[in-house]
Each structure stands twice: as C-alpha cells, then as structure tokens.
Chain A
Amino acid sequence: MTSSIAPTTVAGRVIQGIERFFFKPARVAPFAVLRIGLAVVLLAQALQVAPVFHEIYAHGGYLRGSLMDSFAPNHLPAVGRLLTRLAQHGVAESAVLSACGVLYIGSLVGLLLGWRTRLVCVAAWLLHLFFMMLAPYTTYGADDFANIFLFYLMFAPAGAVASLDQRSGRSVDLRRASNRLVLRVMQLHLCITYLFAGVQKARGEQWWDGEAIWRSLVAHGYQLFDLTWLALCPTLAAVLGWLVLVVEIGYPVFIWPRLTRRPWIAAVVALHVGIAVFMGLHVFGAVMIVLSVALFGVSAEPSTARPAR
C-alpha cells in the first residue's frame, strides 16, 4: 500500500500521511454496524409512517390531485406525475404505492440480515429516494441522512460480517484500502454536517441567549412535556444552547483524537437522546446516534480480519 521507504522530504511525508489516512487497510465492522443500525431505525420509521402512508403519498391523500406535485424540489422531476401517468394507463396508484412500500420494507429486512447486501442496499436507497421525492414537503433531517448514508453503504462491503452473505460465503471480511476510503468519506461528511449545523446555529442570537432552547422545548408541535418552568432559569437555557454549539462545532475537531473521541461520541449521543425525548424526534435522534457510533465508535483497525490478498 504505502511505500516502505521513509520519505525524506516534507512533501513526501505529507503524501504518505494522506495515503495512510485514506488508504490504510480497514475492517468492515463500522459498515456492518451502520447497515444494521440504519436498517433497524428505518424499519421502525416505516412502521410508524404506515398509518398515514396513503394520506401522505397518494394523490387522494391530504394534498389532493395536482396539489401533491406542486411542491416538487426545484429542477427535479415530480415523481408523483409518473404515478398519475401510470394511472392513466390503468395501473392503480394505490397498487404501485403498496408494492413500493412492501419492497422498501423487504429491502430493509434484507439489509438488516445482510442478505444480498449490495442489491438490497441499492433497492433501499432507490425506494427511500422515491418516497422522498414523492412527498418532499414531508421529509426532514432523518430522511436526508438516511438518503446520504444509504448511498454510501452501496459502495461499502457492509455485508461482509454479521450477515447471511458472510454465512453463505458470498462475502468475506477482508481488510482493504478501499474500505478505509469509503469510511473516511462518510466520517468527513459527518464532520461537515455537524460543523455547518453548529456554525449556522451560532449565527443566530437565539442560540446564545437560550431562546432557541426555550422555543424548541415549548413551541407548539414539539412541546411534549411542560417545560415552561425553564423561563424561570434562563441561564440554564443559555448554557444548554452553548453546549449544543460546542458539541456541534467541536465535532470535526474532537471526534478524531483518541483521547476526546469517546467523550464526544457520548456528548453527541446525549444531545440526540435529548432531542428525541424532549422534542419527539425519535427517528432523527436514532439515525444520528447510529452514524456517530458506527463511524467513530467502532474500530476499523485490522486485528482479527484476514489481510487482503
């Protein structure tokens, strides 16, 4: 992989450092944890959305007829129009939606079990994207991150351990340079995410004086507990706001050193547990916890895996 001859120049050392960072052979364990974690969370999400499935995704639901396709993202095709066209040719929309829903659940079960992992991952990503594009106004952070990391999982040998693929011999846990590259891309993307999330928050006064925490916890739609007593301790609200900024902006710095990695993962888990419990964003919280734990909490260092031949 990397040259066995020690580089003598600064440029040589930098190049070697870059190569080691991106291409040092890595195990697939983080991908397996990500695969299983994402599958579990998305299955739970799908089951929770099922009671309003047709109300959200069908043209006879809460946004009837062409209204449903009026809020498609800029520059992208309105997937709903495809369903309308199919209906004009005698293919019932409800049948197509139900089939896609069943296939989506099936692909997630396949992902969870690691059965034909690459194939079911492509199917899960495509169907997830289909539903996102069908009702883009109902998507939020949990969907964005599921889309991003299902996309990445397609390039990772996520079925090489703890899977039916491994048991059947279809996939083998080899440490490879390409594993490290995929892992680094995912890790760097997560760092970009937290950095932007934190910096965008820091631009607003509300995150410095505690009003953001106050509004998050008492605003209609998020108020799950009576936390109006927080108005009597504005300092607590302000400190919580600062902590959110520290955890998010500090993420790309403190998640890398071994010394601070675990405390930062713990802080991120605490942050998202708080969001899940107090704001009811359970799926979002669970997705973000899975990402940090899988990508930074699970070792990719070669120890027991067989070396690549």
Chain B
Amino acid sequence: MTRRRRWLLLAAVTCHLGLAVLGGLGVCLWEAGAVGRGLTYYRALSGVDTGYSYFAPSVGTPPHAEFTIVDGAGNEVVDTLETRVTREADIRVGDIIEVFGHRRSDDGMRRRIAVSWAAAMFARHPGAETVLVDVGYQHWPGMTELRAGAAARWRSYFRARIVRSAGATGGSP
C-alpha cells in the first residue's frame, strides 16, 4: 500500500468516524444541501447515525397495553400483545406499544393504533365481541418514597372499547 493511498484511506475513515461522533451528538445533516442529504443516507446505511443515549440521561417507564376481551356470554379475559414465548419477541412488541407516545401520534393516530391492536385480539380470540383497550404505565415511586410507604400505581392515558362489527370475522374489528 503506497503512502498516498494510506493517507487517503485515513482521511476517509476520519470522516466516517466524524459522522459517528455527529450521530452521537444527534446532529442532523439533512438541511446541509445535497451533500448533507447524501451523508444522511450514508449514515443510515452504515449505522453511524446511531445515538448512544441508551437509558440516558434518565430511565423512564415504558408504556404497556392491556386488553380485556369480552365474549358474547360476558366472560372476560385479560390479554396483552406480548406472547411471553420469547423475551426478544416481547421486547420488540413492547417497542411497538411505544409508538403510542411517538411524536407523530395524535389522537386520531392513537385511535387507529388501538383499533389495529384490537383487530389482533379479535383474531386471537375468535369468540370475542368487544375489546377494552387500556394503555398506560406502571408508575413506580422512587426508593425514598417507597420506603415511606408509597406503592406502585397503574396510570392509564388511553382507554377505548372496540366492538366487533356485525358479520365481521377473524381479526376484523
């Protein structure tokens, strides 16, 4: 490898790692003209757009969705999207629930998401007539509050009752 080639490669990898640093800083290059747009695609492909703020600067409580399925006889069963078959699958399904709090989710979008999840429940429970959707999170007190007697509490921020339409089958709400 010639010296010239070595230094050209070094310049290239310095730029690449510079982009990784910008990714960590959360800098968006999209507005920086055609080059910025090209770099945005390159960053996405190579993964250098990744931010590294895992559980930082603070640890939040992930949302949870619970579904009360009611059949024609009035029997109730509580279910979740998570299947508890594998942990990795449940992590991903848990991440889907987080779209409820996504910045693009307005009230209309949340209703559509709830209907979509209810459809999955209707498909899973063919005898179900209604599904009560409850999205919220388990609020845990801090260590000091817990020692003072505070307890964990469920806090809902979205509730809906979704009825299977007449004649609908399978997963249709």
Contacts and interface: CB of A to CB of B under 8 A. Distances in A.
Interface of A: 1, 18-19, 22-23, 45, 48-49, 51-52, 55-56, 60-65, 67, 70-71, 73-76, 129, 135, 137-141, 144-145, 147-148, 151, 177-178, 181, 184-185, 188-189, 192-194, 196-197, 200-207, 210-212, 214-216, 218-222, 228, 230-232, 234, 237, 280-283
A12 B16 CA distance: 25
Contacts of A55: 81, 93, 120
Interface string B2-27: 00001001100100110011001100
Contact of A219 (B41, B45, B119, B140): B140
B89 A52 contact: yes
Contacts of A184: 13
B135 to A, nearest CB: 13
A203 B56 contact: yes
Interface string B129-167: 000000001101011101100000000000000000000
A212 B91 contact: no
25 contacts: A49-B88, A49-B92, A55-B93, A62-B96, A62-B120, A63-B113, A64-B119, A75-B30, A75-B40, A129-B45, A137-B102, A138-B93, A138-B96, A139-B95, A148-B50, A188-B17, A192-B20, A196-B52, A202-B57, A206-B57, A207-B57, A211-B142, A219-B60, A282-B87, A283-B88
A56 B89 CA distance: 9
A230 B6 CA distance: 53
B146 A189 contact: no
Residue among B28, B46, B48 with most chain A CB within 10 A: B46
Interface of B: 1, 6, 9-10, 13, 16-17, 20-21, 24-25, 28, 30, 37, 40-41, 44-48, 50-62, 64, 81, 83, 85-89, 91-96, 98-99, 102, 104, 109, 112-113, 116-117, 119-120, 137-138, 140, 142-144, 146-147, 171
Given A52-B92, A197-B52, A215-B58, 20 more contacts: A49-B92, A51-B85, A62-B117, A70-B109, A71-B104, A76-B40, A135-B96, A137-B102, A138-B95, A138-B96, A141-B54, A148-B47, A178-B1, A178-B9, A200-B56, A212-B59, A214-B142, A214-B143, A219-B140, A234-B144
A280 B62 CA distance: 14
What's the dominant secondary structure at chain B's contact region? helix
A200 B109 CA distance: 31
B123 to A, nearest CB: 9
A266 B95 CA distance: 30
Contacts of A141: 54
